[in-house]
Structures are given as structure tokens and as C-alpha cells.
């Protein structure tokens, strides 16, 4: 999963990036770079460790999230940078960092709702530009009425200052839309970057109202504190976090919300080689899930041997589950459940 950290300059993107990844990219810098910094983190999942205790695999493989930290737009220039736009379109989700802490060097007062709206507008403008260019093109081409109609409809929605995320499309439109990778259509998580002094305070009502109205999920993080925590060693981290009343790290909370936002879940494979988590969308069928591992397995799919996670742990692995009658054979259309431990049978 690829998540882009976006937002206005000095909202704390790089600080949050460091908090989430344990990196130490330069904070407060006005990077000359135009491309995003990239880091990959493992998705913490204690279920993998529990499976490994039973099968003793050679290695554990966790799911991964790639974070991109976007540089601020060039000063005096409006709009998003072309280079950044290309990378943003490749992200599966955006995390909009909004500043809710006072900053002596900031040129504007703290106003998260203004910033959320403002950035949303940037995304809408970027999408409008793409649509207008494409519509011009299509005027010179014959046919493609379906695409024309769809783009006209998108144009209208955006002109009303609404993101494409807020409306639903027909399945064949979804197919046409995919190639455009519209930014305002991407799932977006709000990262509310609070001041250390406000860690225990309730969120302002207007922020709650706005995110509810726009149906946006939000995590509240104090970037500065979380970055310091992420850079401590394990033992100090536990002590320091407990002191502040933080039970889960920013990374854990963020990833949980990102999974919810993208409607994701994990299934597992466990054997002598590895215990491994695979991330899929909820509601996916067994045959499609098999394709996540390898297209050959999807093509030659015969059946899936499925054990629910709880049973796997209770009966200490596969043979125990078989003896207890807890190992199931499922067909192509079986809907995968979170935590399923699976063996796919397939012909080559
Ligand atoms: N007080 C406070 N300052 C922060 C917090 N997060 C970031 N900052 C400061 O805000 C400034 C901009 O942060 P940076 O991460 O570089 O923002 P970016 O431009 O969005 O990447 C830096 O001086 C940070 O130290 C926070 O949670 N609390
Ligand atoms: Mg930065």
C-alpha cells in the first residue's frame, strides 16, 4: 500500500513522516527537491508472531506500507508541482496533514478547517486541469461518447467544489476513471497535527463537524512528540509513551485507520519457509486473493484450505485443526475473512 503525506508547507509532513517511519529526514527544511522522500514500514501484526510460534518458519513477512513525504510547493508559485502530481497519482491513499499547532515561523493563524478546504481545492483544481485537457482532445475524436459523458459529469461535480470521492460511479465508468487516477477521488485520511499541550484536549467542534460532513476519517497525532518517540530505543519508548498516556504509537494508530479507510484486511500463509501476511480488500473472493500471491495460482485455482486464525491458534496449527474438524475446503467464490490461514491448491 502506498500512502502519500500531503498538505501545505510547514504543516508537519516531514515530522509525521519521521514519526511513522523512524527516519530522520530534515524537518523545517525548504527542500530544493521536487520529488517525495520514500520509506517503507512493516505493518505491525502480532498474529504473525503467534503463527510463527507454531510453525517456526525461516522468516516472518509482514505487510508493508510505503510512505511518501511530499516537498512543499515552490514559493510564490501556486498549485501543485508537476513532479509531485505524478507521484501523488500513484498513491493508493492520501494522508492530509493539517497544522493545529501554533508555529512562530508560520505566516498564517492556526485554522485546520481552512487548510482542509484549501487543500481539497488544490486537488480539485488539479483534476479539473486533467479533465479539461482530455475533453479538448476528445472534441477532435469520433466516438467515445461514454467517456465524454462521464468527464462532463466529473467536471460538473468538481465545479461545485466537491471531490470526486463524494459520488459513486457505474462499474464501466470505474474502469474508465482508473486510468486518470484523479486525486480528489483517492481515499483521504486527515492527520490532525496537534500541539503537545493539546494532546489530551477534545477536538474543536468545527473540525469534527467538517470531517463528519465530508465523511473523512481522522487521526490526531502530535507529530513532534511522536517523532521523538520513534527515534528512542524500545525500552525508553515504552516509558516515555506511558508517561504521556499514549497507549499506541502514531504508526499503529495511523495504519489501523488507513486499513479501515481503504477497506483492507489481511489473510495469512504459514509454512516452514515463512509466516506471511497478505493485504487484500474486504469482500474479495478466494480465487482473487490467490492472485495476490501469484497469477498462476489464480489461473489454476482448485480450492482453498482455510483455517480461521482463532482455530489455528487454539488447536496449534494445521494437523490439530484437521483432527478437530476445523480445517475447511472452500471454492473460488468463498469470501475471505480477516485472519484466515490459507493453503491454495492449484494446477500448473
Ligand atoms: N509544536 C509543534 N511543532 C511541530 C509539530 N509538527 C511539526 N512541527 C514544527 O513545524 C515545522 C514544520 O515541520 P515540517 O515537518 O518540516 O513541515 P512540512 O513542511 O509540512 O514538511 C518544524 O519547525 C517542526 O518542528 C508539532 O506537532 N508540534
Ligand atoms: Mg517537509
pLDDT in tens, 132-150: 999 999 998 888 889 999 9
Per-residue cell: 13: 509532513
Distance 106 CA to ligand 1 centre (A): 10
Secondary structure letter of residue 199 according to DSSP: T
Distance 10 CA to ligand 2 centre (A): 7
Residue 347 has pLDDT above 70, yes or no: yes
Backbone angles phi, psi at 59, to 5 degrees: -150, 160
Q: Please state the pTM of the whole predicted model.
A: 0.89
Q: Where are the domains of the chain?
A: 2-261, 283-346
Distance 16 CA to ligand 1 centre (A): 8
Give CATH superfamily name and number for 2-261: P-loop containing nucleotide triphosphate hydrolases (3.40.50.300)
Tens digit of pLDDT for each residue in 73-117?
Answer: 665 556 677 788 899 999 999 999 999 998 877 778 999 999 999
Tens digit of pLDDT for each residue in 176-210?
Answer: 999 999 999 999 999 999 998 888 888 999 999 99
Do residues 20 and 68 make contact, with C-beta atoms less than 8 angstroms apart?
no
CA distance 346 to 301: 4
Residue 258 has pLDDT above 70, yes or no: yes
Distance 252 CA to ligand 1 centre (A): 20
Tens digit of pLDDT for each residue in 290-334?
Answer: 999 999 999 999 999 999 999 999 999 999 999 999 999 999 999
What is the secondary structure of 272-337 as a DSSP string?
SSEEEEEEEETT-BHHHHHHHH-HHHHHTEEEEEEE-HHHHHHTTSHHHHHHTT--EEE-TTPBP-
Position of cell 494446477? 347
> What pLDDT score was predicted for residue 32?
63
The average pLDDT across 5-28 equals: 90
CA distance 121 to 163: 8
- As its CATH architecture, domain 283-346 has Roll (3.10)
Express the helix, strand and coil content of the chain in percent, nearest 5 each.
45, 20, 35
Residue whose CA is at the smallest distance from ligand 1 atom 12 = 10
Ligand 1 atom with the shortest distance to the CA of 226:
27
Q: Is residue 208 helix, strand or coil?
A: helix
Pocket of ligand 1 (CB under 6 A): 7, 9-15, 27-28, 72, 101, 103, 193, 195-196, 222-224
CA distance 210 to 98: 13
Residue whose CA is at the smallest distance from ligand 1 atom 8 = 12
Ligand sitting nearest the alpha carbon of 16: 1
Distance 75 CA to ligand 2 centre (A): 13
Amino acid at each position: 500500500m502506498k500512502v502519500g503525506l500531503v498538505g501545505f508547507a510547514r504543516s508537519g509532513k516531514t515530522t509525521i513522516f519521521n514519526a511513522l517511519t523512524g527516519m530522520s529526514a530534515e524537518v523545517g527544511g525548504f527542500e530544493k527537491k521536487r520529488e517525495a522522500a520514500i520509506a517503507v514500514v512493516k505493518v505491525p501484526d502480532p498474529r504473525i508472531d503467534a503463527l510463527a510460534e507454531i510453525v517456526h518458519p525461516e522468516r516472518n513477512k509482514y505487510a508493508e506500507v510505503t510512505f511518501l513525504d511530499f516537498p512543499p510547493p515552490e514559493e510564490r508559485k501556486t498549485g501543485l508541482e508537476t513532479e509531485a502530481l505524478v507521484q501523488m497519482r500513484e498513491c493508493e491513499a492520501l494522508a492530509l496533514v493539517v497544522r493545529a499547532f501554533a508555529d512562530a515561523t508560520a505566516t498564517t493563524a492556526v485554522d485546520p478547517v481552512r487548510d482542509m478546504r484549501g487543500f481539497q481545492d488544490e486537488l480539485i483544481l488539479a483534476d479539473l486541469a486533467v479533465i479539461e485537457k482530455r475533453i479538448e482532445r476528445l472534441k477532435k475524436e469520433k466516438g467515445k461518447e461514454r467517456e465524454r459523458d462521464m468527464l462532463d459529469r466529473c467536471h460538473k461535480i468538481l465545479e461545485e467544489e466537491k471531490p470526486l470521492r463524494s459520488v459513486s460511479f457505474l462499474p464501466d465508468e470505474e474502469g474508465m476513471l482508473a486510468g486518470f487516477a484523479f486525486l480528489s477521488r483517492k481515499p483521504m485520511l486527515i492527520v490532525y497535527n496537534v500541539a503537545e499541550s493539546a494532546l489530551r484536549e477534545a477536538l474543536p467542534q468545527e473540525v469534527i463537524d467538517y470531517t463528519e460532513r465530508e465523511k473523512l476519517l481522522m487521526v490526531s497525532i502530535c507529530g513532534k512528540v511522536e517523532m521523538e518517540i520513534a527515534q528512542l530505543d524500545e525500552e525508553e519508548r515504552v516509558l516515555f509513551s506511558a508517561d504521556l498516556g499514549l497507549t499506541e504509537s502514531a504508526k499503529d494508530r495511523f495504519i489501523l485507520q488507513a486499513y479501515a479507510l481503504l477497506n483492507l484486511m489481511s489473510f495469512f500463509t504459514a509454512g516452514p519457509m515463512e509466516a506471511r501476511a497478505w493485504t487484500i480488500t474486504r469482500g474479495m473472493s478466494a480465487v482473487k486473493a490467490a492472485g495476490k500471491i501469484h497469477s498462476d495460482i489464480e489461473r489454476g485455482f482448485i480450492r482453498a484450505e482455510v483455517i480461521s486464525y482463532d482455530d489455528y491458534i487454539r488447536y496449534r496449527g494445521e494437523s490439530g485443526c484437521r483432527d478437530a474438524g476445523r480445517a475447511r475446503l472452500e471454492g473460488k467464490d468463498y469470501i475471505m475473512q480477516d485472519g484466515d490461514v490459507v493453503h491454495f491448491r492449484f494446477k500448473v
